Chains A and B, each alone.
Chain A
Amino acid sequence: MTEYKVDVTNLQKSYGSNHVLKGINFKVANNEVVVLIGPSGSGKSTLLRCLNKLEEPTSGSIVIDGQDISLPSTNIDKARENIGMVFQHFNLFNNMTVGENIMLAPVELGKMDKDTAREEARQLLETVGLSDKFDAMPASLSGGQKQRVAIARALAMNPDVMLFDEPTSALDPEMVGDVLEVMKELAKDGMTMVVVTHEMGFAKEVADRVVFMADGYVVEEGKPEEVFDNPQHERTKSFLDKVINV
């Protein structure tokens, strides 16, 4: 039996009568980069947010690193320490400097002392190309810089899995490249990643597997070249026609 990093079985999520996820089975292997694509409202962001329980699943199981986080008995805070997340709108802590943003969780959660955390933060900023921004306030950064800080912040906890929720959707076009570059580096270093994105170029180039979702179901999945060049389902074809021809 292969040990999966992420193993989702029959996941359902509804808000009242609105069924957003209608029975998802979804696996991610170690070191694998999975890109979730699909029209808006298909449930891909909800699926991603269920993976660290920012959304409470209605039913089904979500096993991360062998631990079922959908169980009430699971300490979700502990589990989240190993699951990094990057948000569409960055969500940098506005009341702290860039450095403090990155240092907060490792120090508060007793992973490192302050000096080690500071050193770590500086190194992370260097890897995302922002070594001069340690003392800057988030408000003074551009969108692309903010998102790179957000990635560094998530990496500071040294997670096993990174979740990306449309990380480039809120960026000006000229900023997108820098952020994708950082993500590609991460993938190259063997990080297990689940990425919700509309960047089809990134999906083609970096993804080990592409998952197409529509109407709360996984419609089709496979290697990028299979899904993009030879889609099996009508729904996938029409979606790809729309995105790629634009």
Chain B
Amino acid sequence: MKKLFIWLSLLLGITFVATMAQTPERVQAAQKTYTIATDVTFPPFVYANSDNKYVGIDMDLIKAVAKEEGFKVEIKPIGFNAAIQAVQAGQVDGMIAGMTITDERKKTFDFSTPYYSSGIVMAVKPGSDVKTLKDLKGKTVAVKTGTSGADYANSIKAKYGFKTVTFDDSDNMYDDVKTGNAAACFEDSAVLEYGVKTGLGLKIVTKPTNTGDYGFAVKKGANQELLNKFNHGLAALKKNGTYDKIIAKYTGKKALSDKNNAANGHNEYTILGLLKQNKSALISGIVETIWLTIVGILFATIFGIIIGLLGVVPNKIAQGFSTTVIYIFRGLPLIVLALFIYNGVPSLTGTKVPAFIAGVITLTLNEGAYIGAFVKGGIESVDHGQMEAARSLGLPFGKAMKRVVLPQGIKLMIPSFINQFIITLKDTSILSVIGILELTQTGKIIIARNLQGFRMWAIIAVIYLLMITILTLFSKWIERRMKN
């Protein structure tokens, strides 16, 4: 028991140092650094290349502007919808993600001068009967959250009599069409044209409509300096030809055929090829998942035990507090809690919460509430007579709890602890919604690039199973040690 405690304290110490060590890179910049959110998957505007570096028109453009204007950017590929919320919450300074300038969005965003124009087109599976909007009657259409394609689809769905199904990522939307669940999808023409040419496996059946302009965006009324720098830099890039070069690089014929050749040459679509190709990305995803899990489990366990103990002390206020905490945080879906802490709280308080910290807080509260509940339950399920006998001998509550009740309760709790640790590991995947580059988010990004959904998710699934196996063995080892 005592040895285990020392172990845990040691682990806690290491974790602390590691968490501290993760942050300083943000502070050291002499030039001003802006944090820019973007989508994970929106080629040719933003996507990860075969080295898992973020490239695309938007990425090259923002970097070129930054160079031109003398500032630094930190790119956060967190998904379109999360990016919108992160800008509004003040978690990031701006976003560039193939975002169409609309009147609706102008209410909450300030946009730069447009840097690209695109229209909405409809894509279907090759061989599909759907050729015009009229053919959609009674069918389902896949769209991506918060995009102009989604707005367009929703504006005409009553007229043409179809339903929409919404996804957070482009590749999930495409997959839904490819598998036949959805009859079609709506997306910006530049994106779909690029996708079709690079082997997406869909075909475009309508002409671009609802043409819109893409703009770089900041929260309305905030970061005007950044916005001005962007406009100034964009004008300069258009003048000196850099802008045209960037556009040609991603939409020119040469660029497209190059990409295909590169893909084939790499032989990256076997499981082994995929593993080799994405080794470094997967490893850093695994490392991030492990960190989240370890730190999350640690804090959740401490928090949970405190909450559980407060639930059994003979004090109505403490018990009420414990019950309330368990009720709230066990009742909230993890994803809601994560978004609330990462996006909701900062927009209220005005302070940024780093994603990793937000993730750990989320896990601590949610998993801790479950742990609190079974700690409380475990203690309560120890025969009441044990406490009475100890108290009748003159032992104070704390001593009776520590020497008699807890040792018996913990034995009952151990299976629940192991179970909760495994759940915590799995739940880290949900934290991909706040843009933490853990294993699931890494998988999404890789798939966004290579569109190998089946093989990549299979790889990711096996990695999770391996990690869970290791965690289970480790937990059983601890369990055995505790019994001695």
A157 at the B interface (CB under 8 A) = yes
Do residues A93 and B393 form an inter-chain contact, with CB atoms below 8 A? no
Q: How far is the CA of A92 from the CA of B390 in the complex (A)?
A: 9
- Kindly identify which residue among A52, A95, A108 contacts B407, using a CB–CB cutoff of 8 Å: A95
Report the count of interface residues on B (CB-CB < 8 A): 18
Question: Which positions 58-92 of chain A face chain B at CB distance < 8 Å?
Answer: 77-81, 83-85, 87, 89, 91-92
Do residues B386 and A80 form an inter-chain contact, with CB atoms below 8 A? no
Name which residue of chain A comes closest to B382, CB basis: A94
Residues in B neighbouring A139, C-beta threshold 8 A: none
Do residues B385 and A91 form an inter-chain contact, with CB atoms below 8 A? yes
Name which residue of chain B comes closest to A88, CB basis: B385
Do residues A93 and B395 form an inter-chain contact, with CB atoms below 8 A? no
Q: How far is the CA of A24 from the CA of B392 in the complex (A)?
A: 22
- Kindly identify which residue among B389, B394, B404, B411 contacts A78, using a CB–CB cutoff of 8 Å: B394
A243 at the B interface (CB under 8 A) = no
With A91-B383, A94-B408, A104-B403 in contact, do A80 and B391 touch (Cβ < 8 Å)?
Answer: yes
Do residues A81 and B403 form an inter-chain contact, with CB atoms below 8 A? no
Question: Which positions 366-411 of chain B face chain A at CB distance < 8 Å?
Answer: 383, 385-386, 388-396, 399, 403-404, 407-408, 411
- Kindly identify which residue among B389, B392, B399 contacts A108, using a CB–CB cutoff of 8 Å: B399
Q: How far is the CA of A79 from the CA of B385 in the complex (A)?
A: 19
Q: How far is the CA of A235 from the CA of B168 in the complex (A)?
A: 79
Do residues B385 and A93 form an inter-chain contact, with CB atoms below 8 A? no
Do residues A109 and B392 form an inter-chain contact, with CB atoms below 8 A? no
With A91-B383, A95-B408 in contact, do A54 and B392 touch (Cβ < 8 Å)?
Answer: yes
Do residues A83 and B386 form an inter-chain contact, with CB atoms below 8 A? no
Name which residue of chain B comes closest to A80, CB basis: B394
Do residues A93 and B389 form an inter-chain contact, with CB atoms below 8 A? yes
Name which residue of chain A comes closest to B406, CB basis: A95
Do residues A95 and B404 form an inter-chain contact, with CB atoms below 8 A? yes
0/1 string, A92-129, CB within 8 A of B gives 1? 11110000000011001100000000000000000000
- Kindly identify which residue among A77, A91, A150 contacts B386, using a CB–CB cutoff of 8 Å: A91
Do residues A91 and B393 form an inter-chain contact, with CB atoms below 8 A? no
Residues in B neighbouring A89, C-beta threshold 8 A: 385
Q: How far is the CA of A92 from the CA of B383 in the complex (A)?
A: 11
Q: How far is the CA of A105 from the CA of B395 in the complex (A)?
A: 7
Do residues B408 and A154 form an inter-chain contact, with CB atoms below 8 A? no
Name which residue of chain A comes closest to B399, CB basis: A108
Residues in A neighbouring B386, C-beta threshold 8 A: 91, 93-94
Q: How far is the CA of A161 from the CA of B407 in the complex (A)?
A: 30
With A93-B404, A95-B408 in contact, do A109 and B395 touch (Cβ < 8 Å)?
Answer: yes
A153 at the B interface (CB under 8 A) = yes
Shortest Cβ distance from B176 into chain A, in angstroms?
Answer: 56
Do residues B385 and A87 form an inter-chain contact, with CB atoms below 8 A? yes
Instruction: Give the interface centre of B385, B393, B395, B407 by most chain A CB atoms within 10 Å.
Output: B393
Shortest Cβ distance from A52 into chain B, in angstroms?
Answer: 6
Do residues A93 and B392 form an inter-chain contact, with CB atoms below 8 A? no
Do residues A52 and B403 form an inter-chain contact, with CB atoms below 8 A? no
Do residues B407 and A104 form an inter-chain contact, with CB atoms below 8 A? no
- Kindly identify which residue among B385, B393, B407 contacts A153, using a CB–CB cutoff of 8 Å: B393
Shortest Cβ distance from A103 into chain B, in angstroms?
Answer: 11
Do residues B393 and A54 form an inter-chain contact, with CB atoms below 8 A? no
Residues in A neighbouring B393, C-beta threshold 8 A: 80-81, 84, 104-105, 153-154, 157
Shortest Cβ distance from A161 into chain B, in angstroms?
Answer: 12
Do residues A108 and B388 form an inter-chain contact, with CB atoms below 8 A? no
Residues in B neighbouring A153, C-beta threshold 8 A: 389, 393
Do residues B408 and A108 form an inter-chain contact, with CB atoms below 8 A? no
Do residues A77 and B383 form an inter-chain contact, with CB atoms below 8 A? no
Shortest Cβ distance from A149 into chain B, in angstroms?
Answer: 11
Residues in B neighbouring A84, C-beta threshold 8 A: 392-393
- Kindly identify which residue among A52, A78, A92, A104 contacts B392, using a CB–CB cutoff of 8 Å: A52
Q: How far is the CA of A87 from the CA of B385 in the complex (A)?
A: 8
Do residues A108 and B385 form an inter-chain contact, with CB atoms below 8 A? no
Do residues B395 and A77 form an inter-chain contact, with CB atoms below 8 A? yes
Residues in B neighbouring A109, C-beta threshold 8 A: 394-395
Q: How far is the CA of A237 from the CA of B353 in the complex (A)?
A: 78
With A91-B389, A93-B386, A108-B403 in contact, do A77 and B396 touch (Cβ < 8 Å)?
Answer: yes
Residues in A neighbouring B392, C-beta threshold 8 A: 52, 54, 80, 83-85, 154
- Kindly identify which residue among B394, B407, B408 contacts A81, using a CB–CB cutoff of 8 Å: B394
Shortest Cβ distance from A152 into chain B, in angstroms?
Answer: 12
Instruction: Give the interface centre of A81, A84, A104, A150 by most chain B CB atoms within 10 Å.
Output: A104
Q: How far is the CA of A94 from the CA of B405 in the complex (A)?
A: 9
Residues in B neighbouring A157, C-beta threshold 8 A: 393-394
Residues in B neighbouring A104, C-beta threshold 8 A: 390, 393, 395, 403-404
Shortest Cβ distance from B412 into chain A, in angstroms?
Answer: 11
0/1 string, B297-327, CB within 8 A of A gives 1? 0000000000000000000000000000000
Q: How far is the CA of A150 from the CA of B390 in the complex (A)?
A: 11
Do residues A93 and B390 form an inter-chain contact, with CB atoms below 8 A? yes
Name which residue of chain B comes closest to A52, CB basis: B392
Name which residue of chain A comes closest to B392, CB basis: A85
Q: How far is the CA of A81 from the CA of B399 in the complex (A)?
A: 14
- Kindly identify which residue among A93, A95, A105 contacts B394, using a CB–CB cutoff of 8 Å: A105
Q: How far is the CA of A105 from the CA of B404 in the complex (A)?
A: 11
Q: How far is the CA of A77 from the CA of B399 in the complex (A)?
A: 11
Name which residue of chain B comes closest to A54, CB basis: B388
Q: How far is the CA of A246 from the CA of B233 in the complex (A)?
A: 104
Q: How far is the CA of A108 from the CA of B403 in the complex (A)?
A: 9
Residues in A neighbouring B403, C-beta threshold 8 A: 93, 104, 108
Q: How far is the CA of A52 from the CA of B389 in the complex (A)?
A: 11
Question: Which positions 4-33 of chain A face chain B at CB distance < 8 Å?
Answer: none
- Pick the 10 closest A-B CB pairs, nearest first: A81-B394, A91-B389, A91-B385, A105-B393, A85-B392, A80-B394, A95-B407, A77-B396, A93-B404, A95-B408
For the complex with contacts A91-B388, A105-B394, A157-B393, 20 further pairs of A-B residues with Cβ separation under 8 Å are A80-B391, A81-B393, A81-B394, A85-B392, A87-B385, A87-B388, A91-B383, A93-B390, A93-B404, A94-B386, A95-B407, A104-B390, A104-B393, A104-B395, A104-B404, A105-B390, A108-B395, A108-B403, A109-B395, A150-B389
A-B contact pairs, 14 of them (CB 8 A): A54-B392, A77-B391, A77-B395, A83-B392, A84-B392, A85-B392, A87-B388, A89-B385, A93-B389, A95-B404, A104-B403, A108-B403, A154-B393, A157-B393
Interface residues of A (CB under 8 A from B): 52, 54, 77-81, 83-85, 87, 89, 91-95, 104-105, 108-109, 150, 153-154, 157
